[in-house]
Chains A and B, each alone.
Chain A
Amino acid sequence: MSKDFYTQFVLPYAGIIIKICRAYTDNEEDFQDYYQEVCLQLWKSRENFKGDSKWSTWVYRISLNVSLSLLKKDKKVHKNSVELPNLDNGVQDSNPFNDESLKLLYIAIKKLSELDRAIILLYLEENSYQEIAEIMGLLPNNIGVKITRIKKKLKTLLDGKIY
């Protein structure tokens, strides 16, 4: 990947990539892998970007697609492995955020299904329903209902301090 491409097309959008990758990974090593894979895929797919949408929309789409496909692969790899017991009453503290509420919110987001996670991340990033639908390949009128349900789920998890 050229330095110019990274500086111009990845770095300004790194926040998006980081926020999405954090929502799909449980440890720093996986997070680094996901982040790097997204960067690589952005570079590899640069010629497929036709300019019909904003570059940020493209970044969201690639980040989500890469995260979901890596998650699928990782699940296959760890399918037969023994999961370690959760020592913190269901709360996994692997995100490096200073803000305790944000940390909890991330933990709650990780409790959602993969699709719900994607939708709520796009919503929290202030994408319009139309943009979310475009990125996810869904119908815009379904998005609003879906978001209300996800927010309700998140609220329940946060009120119960997640379990």
Chain B
Amino acid sequence: MERSIENIWKEGFESDKSFELPLVKDLYTRKSKLIIDKIKSTSKWDNLSLIPMAIFLFGLFTFLSKVILGIYVAALILLLFFLNKRMMKKLDQFDAGSNTYQYLTTYYTQLKIIQKFYIKLMAIGIPVFIIPAYWMYFLETPMMIDFMGLGIYFQIIIVAVTASLLSGLGVLCYKLSTHLVYGKLTTRIEEIINDMEELMKI
């Protein structure tokens, strides 16, 4: 006689003695791995996007008859590309075999250290490297001739104000782009770490 689905369900579970309870362990291992893999792949593509940008800017400045400036800007961007690559390699060196909590906290701390390093780099590096680029761009233009005609104090003030603006803008852009690209992922790591810490307290 044909069994109804109700009977299949009831009798099936009653007769099933191989019904083993899963163990509650390594709660976050897979979840953490997914987030970290996502951060790795995002930063890889994020960094690779610098290459076409360097090529584009070199082409643009060459088109504007500013070949030296083009080479300078492209070299700067490529330098940033190699620096990012080195930083990513550093992040890859952690022992993935350590326990999830240890791995996540180490990864998160290192991520924050790297972000602080880039904020400093943007604050100092942007004015230091971009002001020479401005100089190259405006060289022999009426604007530069006017600037050179100013007193030394005025020149210093203009350079200092431009440097401060560039520095602020650089930091702001970095923070904003990092928040947009990695914000959600880092928040999820924070949530997991908090959850795990809460679990450990009990």
Chain A residues close to B by CB (< 8 Å): 1-2, 6, 11, 14-15, 18-19, 29, 31-33, 35-37, 39-40, 44, 77, 96-99, 101-102, 105, 124, 151, 154-155, 158
Contact = CB atoms under 8 A, between A and B. Distances in A.
Rank and list the top 7 A-B pairs by shortest CB-CB distance, nearest first: A102-B12, A99-B12, A124-B9, A101-B8, A35-B22, A2-B202, A105-B8
B16 interface: yes
B197 to A, nearest CB: 13
Contacts, number: 63
Given A18-B21, A99-B11, A151 B5 contact: yes
Contact of B12 (A6, A33, A39, A97): A97
Interface of chain A, main secondary structure: helix
Contact of B19 (A18, A36, A39): A18
Contacts of B19: 15, 18
Interface in B30-81: 30-31, 34
A31 B19 CA distance: 13
B13 interface: yes
Contact of A99 (B15, B21, B25): B15
17 contacts: A1-B24, A1-B199, A6-B24, A29-B30, A31-B22, A32-B22, A33-B31, A37-B27, A39-B24, A40-B27, A96-B18, A96-B20, A97-B12, A101-B12, A102-B12, A105-B12, A124-B5
Contact of B202 (A1, A35, A102): A1
Contacts of A6: 24
